Chain A
Amino acid sequence: DTEVTQTPKHLVMGMTNKKSLKCEQHMGHRAMYWYKQKAKKPPELMFVYSYEKLSINESVPSRFSPECPNSSLLNLHLHALQPEDSALYLCASSQLAGPNEQFFGPGTRLTVL
C-alpha cells in the first residue's frame, strides 16, 4: 500500500463551526506533514510530525490544531476559521523527517463561508 488517503475530499464550513480533516498512511512512515495550498501557488508547510511528536509548527494560527494519535493517522482540527483559510489542505508522509521523498494525499478542498 503506497497511498496516503485523506477525508473528506471537500468540506464547506461556517466561521463558527468545528471540523476535522483526517489523513492516513500504512507505509510505515514515521514523518507526516500538513500543507496548505492556494490556487496557482506552491504548497506551504504548516506542521511536521516525527515519530508522532510535533517537530515543526510554521507559526500557524491556533485555530488550526494538529493531532497525531498514532503512527498511521494525522488529524487537523479546525475551529473559528476565516474565509481566507479556504484552500486545498494536503497531507504527506515520508519514511523519516528530513531529505526524503514525500508521498502526498489527494487533499481536502476546504471552503470557509
Chain B
Amino acid sequence: GQNIDQPTEMTATEGAIVQINCTYQTSGFNGLFWYQQHAGEAPTFLSYNVLDGLEEKGRFSSFLSRSKGYSYLLLKELQMKDSASYLCAVGNTDKLIFGTGTRLQVFP
C-alpha cells in the first residue's frame, strides 16, 4: 500500500518558524515534492528533494531522509500569505502520490 502522512492542521504566528512533517511508506520512490495550495486555487510547486539533505530556497527549506521515509518543509519569517495547505507528494514512476495535506493558519 501507499501511505503518506502529514499533520492535518497547524497554527503559527507571523514572523515565526514552522516545520511541517511528512512520513511516507510507498512501493516506489522517485523523489519528494512539496506543493502549496491556497483555498480555491491550484497547487503550486515549492521544492523537490531526491537525495538526502536540506534544500534551501529563500524562506522555504525542505529536508529528506530516505532511510527514515521522512521529509519536512521549514517555513521561516512567516507571513499572513503563507496561510495555505501544504502537500507533500512522492514521485512514483509516472505519477505523484499526494499526502493528506497540512492546513497552516498564520495569525498576526
Q: How far is the CB of A41 from chain B (nearest CB, A)?
A: 7
Partner of A31, one of B41, B48, B94: B94
A101–B45 CA distance with the chains assembled, in angstroms: 7
Classify chain B: how many residues form its interface, as a range: 20 to 34
* B75-107 at interface with A (beta carbon < 8 Å): 87, 89, 91, 93-101, 103
Contact A103 B45, beta carbon cutoff 8 Å: yes
Least Cβ–Cβ distance between B71 and chain A, in angstroms: 14
Q: Is the CB of B98 within 8 A of A102?
A: no
| CB atoms of B95 and A48 under 8 A apart | yes
Set of chain A residues within 8 Å of B50, measured between Cβ atoms? 99
User: Could you say which of B30, B43, B93 contacts A104, with CB atoms under 8 Å apart?
Assistant: B43
Interface residues as binary, A64-81 with B (CB distance below 8 Å gives 1, 0 otherwise)? 000000000000000000
Contacting residues, chain B, for A33 (C-beta < 8 A)? 95
Kindly identify which residue among B94, B101, B103 contacts A48, using a CB–CB cutoff of 8 Å. Answer: B94
Instruction: Report if A104-B98 is in contact (Cβ < 8 Å); known contacts: A99-B30, A99-B50.
Output: no
| A99 and B91 within 8 A (CB) | yes
A contact residues around B41 at 8 Å (CB)? 106
- The answer to whether A42 and B45 touch across the interface, beta carbons within 8 angstroms, is no
Given A98-B91, A101-B48, answer yes or no on A42-B31 (Cβ-Cβ < 8 Å). Answer: no
Verify if B44 is at the interface (C-beta below 8 Å from A): yes
Q: Once the chains are docked, how many angstroms separate the CA of A55 from the CA of B94?
A: 8
A43 to B89, alpha carbons, bound, how many Å?
Answer: 10
Which residue, B41, B42, B97, has most C-beta atoms of chain A within 10 A?
Answer: B42
B83 to chain A, nearest CB (A): 14
Asked if A87 is at the interface (CB within 8 A of a chain B CB), the reply is: no
* A25 adjacent to chain B (CB < 8 Å): no
Known: A45-B96, A48-B94. A104 touches B101 (CB 8 A): no
Which A residues are closer than 8 A to B by beta carbons? Answer: 4, 31, 33, 40-45, 48, 50, 55-56, 90, 97-99, 101-107
